[in-house]
Each structure stands twice: as structure tokens, then as C-alpha cells.
């Protein structure tokens, strides 16, 4: 090889290795509302990812499902060197890397509204979580709603009704599914599982959520899970 050719070869930029495929660590499909949120967000964003399922015997995952953990670290998204484990943080990260996916509305005011109601779901409604745990295999019509959970139900109904009226539906922020729909999807399953009374717009919204192909896929997988958690399968 000539000296000139050698110099040209040496000056070529190094080829950057392809990024590893994203992974999303998930817990129980039947019980873990946070896993459902993270999974829906990734699917809404069109992210190509592999699922990593945490064993139902994992002590830390079990604490999270029973609301005994100090924080929620599943789901956890690993992508191109980044590791993101808070569901709202996952939503914001996906919006950064997939800005055309529509996880947040384009309009500035609607986007602020979307962030606010998503954040409210991420950090609030503790009484609803504890008294009406997500359980996709169960059905408890006529379930008694404890006094502590009713204000949470009322506030969520208020959020849904306002958003559907303001943005025209069928999703919370109009024709495009956003992070808010992923955040509230597990609540729709709870309302159906426990026969919560809702107004007509909220009933239609629950039906739209449950009819999504992604939800149908998740529910089918949840029903195929062999493991039950006794504390979340109590007789109501």
C-alpha cells in the first residue's frame, strides 16, 4: 500500500457501532399498572424494544405491586446508554427521542395541560390505587367504593370530562393518543373491574381505551399469566 493510500485509510472516521436494541423491564401484566403505562408509552412512540419480565417471585417487584416500596422502579427503559425508570420520565424521554410520535400535543397550552394531568396521575390518587388495585382477570360488579377513594374517582372523572369536551375526543387531547391516555389507561381497567359508576363521556372513553389493539394484546397476555398474588386477589 502506498503512503498516500495509507494516510487516506488512517484518516477515515471510525464507524460507530449500532446502538443496542432498547429493552423495557416489566412486572406482572395482570397487576402492574405502572408496567402497562410504560409499555403503552413505548408502543405509542413506535419504539422497537425487547421486553424483560421480572419474576413474580422477585421481592422488590412484589413490594411495588403491594404499594410497600419507597418508590416505583419498574418499568425501566434502557435505550442507547440511557436508563429511565419513572413512568413520567419515560414518557418525557420518549417524547424527546420520538418527537413526531405525538406523545404530547403540539399546541403549547394543550401540551402544558397534558403534562399537568399526566403528572397528577403519576403522583396522586393513592386511595384509588390501594382500594381498587388493577386486576385484569377479576370482575367485581357492585363493589363498594370506600369513602377515601371516591374523591379520587370524582377528580379523574372531572379530568376526563373536561379534556374530552375541550379537545373533542376520542382521546383526552383529541384525535391523537398522547402520554395522558397511557397514564390513565390502567384507571379505565379499574373502573370496569369494580363497576365504578361514570358519566357517559367517561364510559365511552373507557370503552375506547379497552378497544385499543395494544390493550387487547396486553390483556390477553395478562390472562395467560399463571401466577396470582393472593393479597391482590382477595374476595370483595
109 pLDDT exceeds 80?
yes
Instruction: For residue 14, tell me if it sits in a domain.
Output: no
Could you list the residue range(s) of the whole structural domain that residue 51 is in?
A: 22-227
Question: Residue 6 domain-assigned?
Answer: no
- In the chain, pLDDT over 90 holds for what percent of residues? 72
Could you tell me if residue 16 is inside a domain?
no
Would 12 be classed as within a structural domain? no
Nearest 10 degrees: Cα torsion 54, 85, 160, 31: 10
Is residue 9 assigned to a domain? Answer: no
Is residue 76 in a domain?
yes
CA angle in degrees (0–180, nearest 5) for 84-95-169:
125
The predicted pLDDT at position 67 comes to 46
**Tally of domains within the chain:** 1
Supply the pLDDT for residue 61.
55
List pLDDT tens digits, range 166-218. 999 999 999 999 999 999 999 999 999 999 999 999 999 999 999 999 999 99
* Residue 154 forms part of a structural domain: yes
Average pLDDT, the chain: 87
Q: What is the CATH number of the domain that holds 175?
A: 1.20.1050.130
**Using one digit for the tens of pLDDT, what is the confidence trace for 33-61?**
999 999 999 999 999 999 999 876 766 65
Give Cα separations from 160 to 51, 100, 200, 205 (angstroms).
Answer: 30, 24, 11, 8
Q: Is 4 within a domain?
A: no
**164: Cβ contacts below 8 Å, ≥ 6 apart:** 170, 172, 201, 205
Residue 179's pLDDT is 98
pTM for the model = 0.85
Look at residue 234 and tell me whether its pLDDT is greater than 50: no
Provide the angle, in degrees to the nearest 10, between the axes of the packed helices 108-123 and 150-167: 160
Beta strands at 76-79 and 49-53: parallel, antiparallel or unpaired: unpaired
Amino acid at each position: 500500500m502506498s503512503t498516500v493510500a495509507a494516510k487516506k485509510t488512517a484518516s477515515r472516521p471510525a464507524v460507530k457501532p449500532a446502538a443496542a436494541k432498547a429493552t423495557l423491564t416489566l412486572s406482572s401484566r395482570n397487576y402492574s399498572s405502572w408496567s402497562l403505562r410504560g409499555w403503552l408509552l413505548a408502543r405509542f412512540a413506535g419504539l422497537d424494544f425487547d421486553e424483560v419480565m421480572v419474576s413474580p417471585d422477585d421481592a422488590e417487584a412484589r413490594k411495588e405491586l403491594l404499594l410497600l416500596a419507597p418508590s416505583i422502579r419498574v418499568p425501566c427503559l434502557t435505550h442507547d446508554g440511557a436508563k429511565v425508570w419513572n413512568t413520567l420520565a419515560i414518557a418525557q424521554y420518549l417524547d424527546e427521542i420520538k418527537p413526531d410520535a405525538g406523545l404530547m400535543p403540539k399546541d403549547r397550552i394543550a401540551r402544558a395541560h397534558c403534562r399537568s394531568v399526566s403528572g397528577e396521575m403519576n403522583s396522586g390518587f393513592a386511595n384509588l390505587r390501594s382500594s381498587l388495585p388493577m386486576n385484569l382477570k377479576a370482575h367485581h360488579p357492585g363493589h363498594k367504593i370506600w369513602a377515601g377513594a371516591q374523591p379520587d374517582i370524582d377528580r379523574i372523572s372531572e379530568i376526563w370530562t373536561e379534556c374530552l369536551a375541550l379537545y373533542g375526543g376520542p382521546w383526552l387531547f383529541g384525535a391523537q393518543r398522547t402520554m395522558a391516555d397511557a397514564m390513565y389507561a390502567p384507571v379505565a381497567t379499574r373502573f370496569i373491574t369494580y363497576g365504578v359508576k361514570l358519566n357517559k363521556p367517561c364510559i365511552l372513553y373507557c370503552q375506547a381505551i379497552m378497544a385499543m389493539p395494544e390493550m387487547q394484546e396486553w390483556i390477553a397476555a395478562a390472562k395467560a399469566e399463571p401466577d396470582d398474588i393472593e393479597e391482590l386477589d382477595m374476595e370483595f
